[in-house]
Amino acid sequence: MLELKNITLKWNSPKEKIFIKDLNLKIKNGEILCVFGASGVGKSSLINIIAGVYENDLLFEGDIILNGKKLNQVPTEKRKIGLLLQDGTLFPHLTVEQNILFGMNKKLSYKEKSLLIAKNLKKSNMASFEDRYPHTLSGGQKARVACLRAILSEPEALLLDEPFSSLDPDQRNSFREFVVNNVRNNKIPCLLVTHDKNDKMVSDNKPLNLNIFQN
């Protein structure tokens, strides 16, 4: 379970300014919570502090807890949190398989990893795409590979920052379903930041409006 306790975010420059105050939330394993709000309200900043990517001049108070472990001082690479951004950026010089391998469990053998990648690509309607390069993929295919890279890294939580907005309507609907199914099947807590009202429909609890936490 992912928990945020009494989170307050504020800019320290040029004058201290609070923009999220006393935010509390809990996301159980296998659940999705949708977060929305006006531009500039702090949605991406919230994603960043959970992931451990601290911005210059951004201060926060409160606790970030994942499966009972406090993460405030844990380095980004050790938090076991998957992050999927709007552009789903892939490494252009790496194949699909190499992109997904990048974050996978180092304890698995290459053969085990390859079989797991092939199995999930097949589920994603991308069988035999292992040796393709990103420039040969459609926007929807790139998004699926980026999602698989995040999920197959075995995260204990998943953060999604507008992951569907760059796709056309057909791709958006199918990829949204793909992500939701993976979150459910892998039983990980997921926080989804969005502007799209259709994304809010996948939220297991009432979508969270960050505007109400403004100081």
Distance of alpha carbon 157 from alpha carbon 51, whole angstroms: 10
Alpha-carbon radius of gyration of the chain? 17
Strands 157-161, 190-193: pairing is: parallel
Q: Are 50 and 124 in contact (CB under 8 A)?
A: no
The SS3 assignment for 171 reads helix
What's the pLDDT at 169? 80
Q: Is residue 33 part of a domain?
A: yes
48 inside domain:
yes
- 15 domain residue, yes or no: yes
Tell me if 132 is assigned to some domain.
no
Does any domain span residue 99?
no
In the chain, the N- to C-terminal Cα span, in Å, equals 27
Q: Cα-flanking dihedrals φ and ψ of residue 167, to 5°?
A: -95, 155
Query: Domain range for residue 64?
Result: 2-91+155-213
What value does the mean pLDDT take over residues 85-98? 87
**Residue 169 to residue 163: CA distance in whole angstroms:** 13
Residue 107, domain member (yes or no)? no
CATH number at residue 182: 3.40.50.300
Residue 190 has pLDDT above 90, yes or no: yes
Residue 5, pLDDT > 90, answer yes
Rounded to two decimals, what is the model's pTM? 0.86
Residue 81 located in a structural domain: yes
On whether the CB atoms of residues 193 and 36 are closer than 8 A, the answer is: yes
Number of residues that make up the chain: 215
Task: Give residue-wise pLDDT tens across range 123-136.
Answer: 888 999 999 999 99
Strand pairing partners for 81? 157
Instruction: Kindly tell me the burial class for residue 201, based on how many C-beta atoms sit within 10 Å of its own C-beta (0-12, 13-18, 19 or more).
Output: exposed
Backbone angles phi, psi at 111, to 5 degrees: -65, -45
Residue 144 lies in a domain: no
**Number of domain units in the chain:** 1
